[in-house]
Structure 1
Amino acid sequence: MHTSQEPLGSLSATLRQRFAQIGPVWGRDINTHRDLVIDAYSPLVAAARDEGESFEVAREIAYGDHERQRLDVFASAQTREKGSADVVLFVHGGAFLRGSKSFNGLIYDNVSRWFARQGCVALNVEYRLAPEAPYPAGAEDVAAAFTWALKHVAEFGGNPRRIFLVGHSAGGAHVATYLCDPLLAGLRDSAPAVAGAVLISARLVADVLPDNPNAAGVRAYFGADETRYAARSPLTHAAHFDTPLMVVVAEYENPYLDAYGAAFFERVLQARQHAGGAALKRAPRFVQMLGHNHTSVVAHFDSGETLLGDAMLGFFSA
């Protein structure tokens, strides 16, 4: 497979031009533009998959009793034999109402496949959805999946002290909530520290603004009472986020998600500049993926473009 560190570097010139056209108008018709992105990347991800797997996949492992509390584990034979590998626990998006860990057999498997190719143990996590499972159920599922990982990743060659939580969109909200919301403090206090977190295009503020295309999902998950939204938003609690952090946003985001990501980064940075102790002084990282949109920022994994993946591996090893 040809690899590139250029944004959209695995796409044809025609598709890069099309992405450039939809970028500035991404928010006007997110569903149509999302489907275009999935259609563009799926053949590339399928080609990478069909070249021959260099790793094994353990599917539909239960980390809880609910039918959606399932995860897949990707790990190569070499990683299993060597052991002590970094672990990437990925939590997909879906506006709190929808989504699956394997949307079409390719997306979001592609994220875990790419990290498994790099020698990591990669976990692809599914979780309960609203309205059946409202706030803070998603964060509780992240905690449960993390607990499962602590107990079992060594069986796949992973290091339980090197588990990195990665969340996209709603999944990023769940990861951030688990790591800084006071309501989840009991779950955090009873577990070892997370090695690091990457929040990709995460919904870090619960809002139902008129131009939020996913306002219905926010209401379904965070509740009908908007006076509770601030207390339930990860951004409110960012100063208490004491896990090594990398924030990623796309150049063309769903409305406000880039601003929320930047604000979260700033608050964590400011809190750490005034905190004591070497562990808390590690500055967070902020990455804007130029040319990318809310969907392509994860759909491009394992397509040949490695810019974000390489940056994440650098964050893991820092």
Structure 2
Amino acid sequence: MSQRPERLTQRLRELGVRWQHDIRKGGDETKALYVPLLAQAPKAGVDIIDNLAYGDHPRQILDVYRPTGAHRAPVVLFVHGGAFIRGAKNINAEMYGNVLTWFARQGYIGINVEYRLAQDAPYPGGAADVAQACEWVARHVHEFDGDPDRICLIGHSAGGTHVATLACDPLYGSAPLNVQGVVLISARLKADILAVNPNAAGVRAYFGNDPSHYESGSPLTHAARARVPVLVVNAEYENPLLDIYGLEFALALGKASASAPLHIALPDHNHVSIVAHFNTPEQWLGEQVLAFFERSCR
């Protein structure tokens, strides 16, 4: 954390104090903090091949971030958030390409995945798209000098819901999962439309109007079924209850495996900065994720 400028730390803490009162405004202010920083970030040595189709829908596309000189490189897929009803693989000129750029700079093939939103693909459509993207990558990543036997998957926010569903939900329990590890960053792991949930409309749009179905569709319900190693990450300043659900998910994983839960709580960060800070001088979380991937892909 020491490489984060003190001025930025102070601003993140100021935003954090009022984060849950207005996550939209806080998110916009966080992006405004990071876009100039990311614009100056190193990007040399990374080739981007964008908008490759992995399906027939216009949003079933992905970008490949290939480091110069890659050869049988490990692969990381990133699935963006957006409360199920918005979002894209690039939400501005710098995010979320910053995440894949950073991994490419560490020698990974980075894959930035876009998927259908709830309007076109309600539950479990998002997870189905992630599964389809993973299958495409497994078939084609060798064309970009990636190793199809070393693929890991990261999901943020609603993207984390889709990734967790793919890893745990019985709807996918019999399907092959061609990834070796999963990281859930600030993921919505339990569906709810509580008054404190500022994204309740998105949950309803994706999971449907009948709350009696929410438990069966929630990744938290099926956490013990995870078929690959899972690391859960939350921000200190999180959207309401997402940190609680993250801890419960990690605990369920730990109980199922009779081992210590894999959970990180990232100090000073919020729901947006937890991914916006990739490819800045602050690298601690990225290093923890890399260490997890290295253990998972042996």
Query: TM-score normalised to the size of structure 1?
Result: 0.90
Question: Residue 87 of structure 1 corresponds to which residue in structure 2?
Answer: 75
Counterpart secondary structure, 1:10: coil
1:304 aligned partner: 281
AA in 2 matched with 1:265 = A
Show the counterpart of 1:118: 106
Aligned partner letter, 2:292: F
Q: Displacement of 1:15 after TM fit?
A: 3.2
- Percent identity, please: 52
Query: 1:198, 1:22 → 2: CA distance?
Result: 25
In the other structure, the counterpart of 1:20 is: 13
Name the CA distance, whole Å, in 1 between partners of 2:233 and 2:248. Answer: 12
Q: Which deviations, in whole Å up to 9, do the C-alpha atoms of 1:202-238 show, x marking residues without a partner?
A: 0000000001000000000000000000000000001
Mapped to 2, the partners of 1:235 and 1:114 lie a distance apart of: 29
Task: Name the CA shift for 1:60/1:168 in 2 (closer, same or farther; >3 Å).
Answer: same
Amino acid at match of 2:124: P
Match of 1:174, as an amino acid?
A: H
1:29 is matched with which residue? 22
Report the Cα offset of residue 52 of structure 1.
Answer: 4.9
Q: Distance in 2 between matches of 1:293 and 1:240?
A: 29
2:196 pairs with 1:196: no
- Secondary structure, counterpart of 1:78 in structure 2: coil
What is the CA-CA distance between 1:192 and the residue it aligns to? 5.0
| Aligned residue in 2 for 1:235 | 220
TM-score normalised by the chain length of structure 2? 0.96
1:60 positional shift: 0.1
Contact 1:245 1:284 in 2 (8 A): no
Unaligned ranges ≥5, structure 1: 274-280
Q: Write out aligned runs for 1:132-281 (5 A).
A: 132-186=120-174, 188=175, 191-273=176-258
What is the CA distance between 1:198 and its match in structure 2? 0.2
SS of equivalent to 1:268: helix
Is the contact between residue 244 and residue 284 of structure 1 (CA under 8 Å) also seen in structure 2?
A: no
Q: For residue 311 of structure 1, what is the amino acid of its counterpart? A: Q
Whole-Å separation in 2 of the counterparts to 1:315 and 1:165: 12
- In structure 1, distance between residues paired with 2:112 and 2:227: 24
Q: Give the deviation of 1:304 after TM superposition.
A: 1.5
Aligned pair 1:63/2:54, yes or no?
Answer: yes
Q: Please state how far the C-alpha of 1:10 moved relative to its aligned partner.
A: 3.2
Partners of 2:294 and 2:43 in 1: how far apart? 28
The alignment partner of 2:194 has SS state of coil
Aligned match for 1:291, one of 258, 268, 273: 268
- Structure 1's consecutive aligned runs of 4 or more residues displaced over 4 angstroms after TM superposition are none
Counterparts in 2 of 1:192 and 1:242: CA distance versus 1, 3 Å: closer
SS at match of 1:243: coil
Contact map agreement 1:88 1:120 (CA 8 A) in 2? yes
Rounded Cα–Cα distance in structure 2 between residues aligned with 1:223 and 1:23:
31
Distance 2:90 2:83 in 1: 16
Question: Number of residues paired by the alignment?
Answer: 295
Match of 1:10 among 4, 7, 20: 4
How has the CA–CA distance of structure 1 residues 192 and 173 changed in structure 2, closer, same or farther, with 3 Å as cutoff?
Answer: closer
CA RMSD of aligned residues (A): 1.3
Contact map agreement 2:135 2:178 (CA 8 A) in 1 = no
Structure 1 counterpart of 2:66: 75
Partners of 2:68 and 2:101 in 1: how far apart?
14
